[in-house]
Structure 1
Amino acid sequence: MIPRQGLALSALVLLSACAPSAGIPPEAEAVRKRFGSHTVELAASEGYVRDEFCLDATSFGQSADQGAMGFHATNDTLLRGPIDLNQPQALMFDAHGRVLGVEYEVMVDAVSEAPRLFGQTFARLPAHPGVQHEHYALHLWFVENSTGALADFNPAISCPAGSTPPHGDGGGGH
């Protein structure tokens, strides 16, 4: 039997781990409701393919304390746009298959300028592990992120040992 205080603490830890990001833009709430409980299998049935590697900040040559993005499941048919609030190009999963958030992404050569969503201009990113093309991207975290709901990385997320791409490798496939 768990003591009453231990039970309350366990519930608090579980709730905080699963709590939605406090900074999620109000217009994104429907996206979180639609995709927030997706499984990898459900995502696959909707055309999303999970990359083999987990992406963390070191995958991009950045400091490990920035955290990670997790495993991406990307729908390649959406990568040429248009950007649609309700149809993100990728979902981000943790190692247990829980959705962490979504990524809006479009190839640079498919648009005349950087897209905007939630009042933010997408970042222009070079090819990197998991993405073989230059692209614009914006992440939306459903889980709490101390660096913001639209930050690239989440310091609370990490990749399991051996799951990140070898340095200098283009990585998996979106």
Structure 2
Amino acid sequence: MSLRSRTAGAVLALAVPFALAAVPADAAPVPVADPFIWTDLTPTYTATTDYQYEPFAITDGYTPTGGCAHDAQTGKGGSGYHYINAANIGSLDPAEPAGLLYETDSDGGRALVGVEWIVRAGTGSAAPTLFGQTFQGPAELDGVGSVYTLHAWIWKDNPSGLFAPWNPMVTCS
């Protein structure tokens, strides 16, 4: 067996579980424009793995911004507790999301559910794109001003889509 075929087999063995885990068994898959998006998100996973333990996020400069955000008007779900690293605002680097999204776990602690990129919205500026997705907004963010945002639900499935602004599976307790 050649090195190339062994490498391809290893990549496939690692990729299939991620692809299967991306869609809940009881939900219809939401199409994503790029079928290799999970590969593009690898730097994001790598950079945020330690933040599954919330104190590490705080140590690295992520600051909780307040209460748990949920869409009470339309019932589209929640986006959880936002932790923002001001040094990463404006970054389009997959490994430097400006925000981390948490929800309360069964033990009363915080569980990482997603990440968020935040870019200031200048006068007349167009929404940026990342991973082939156009950022949402502009919206007002306390202490920052007008911003565009892009969520990625990489740590918790979202039947509304990987990059949807709200996740019906995220609740605020």
TM-score by length of 2: 0.70
What secondary structure is seen at the aligned counterpart in 2 of 1:82?
A: coil
Q: Aligned partners of 1:136, 1:46: CA distance in 2, in Å?
A: 23
Return the structure number with greater relative CO, CA threshold 8 A, min gap 6.
1
d(CA) in 2 for partners of 1:134, 1:108: 5
Distance across 1 between alignment mates of 2:70 and 2:129: 24
The equivalences for 1:73-88 within 5 A come to 73-79=83-89, 81-88=90-97
Task: Decide which of 97, 102, 108 is 1:93's aligned counterpart.
Answer: 102
Give structure 1 stretches of 5+ with no counterpart.
1-18, 161-174
1:1-174 paired onto structure 2 within 5 Å: 21-22=22-23, 25-26=37-38, 27-38=40-51, 39-58=53-72, 62-64=73-75, 66-79=76-89, 81-95=90-104, 96-109=109-122, 112-127=125-140, 130=142, 133-142=145-154, 143-160=156-173
CA RMSD, Structure 1 to Structure 2 (Å) = 2.4
Q: Which amino acid aligns with 1:108?
A: A
Q: Give the Cα separation in 1 of the matches to 2:110 and 2:127.
A: 31
- Shift of residue 32, structure 1, vs aligned partner: 2.0
Distance 1:103 1:49 in 2: 14
Higher mean C-alpha displacement, 149-158 vs 106-115: 106-115
When residues 34 and 78 of structure 1 are mapped into structure 2, their CA distance, relative to the original with a 3 A threshold, is: closer
Q: Distance in 1 between matches of 2:123 and 2:44?
A: 24
SS at match of 1:44: helix
| TM-score under structure 1 length normalisation | 0.69
Question: What amino acid does structure 2 have at the position aligned with 1:85?
Answer: P
Retained in 2: the 8 A contact 1:36–1:101? no
- The percent of aligned pairs where both chains have the same amino acid is 26
CA contact (8 A) 1:70 1:94 kept: yes
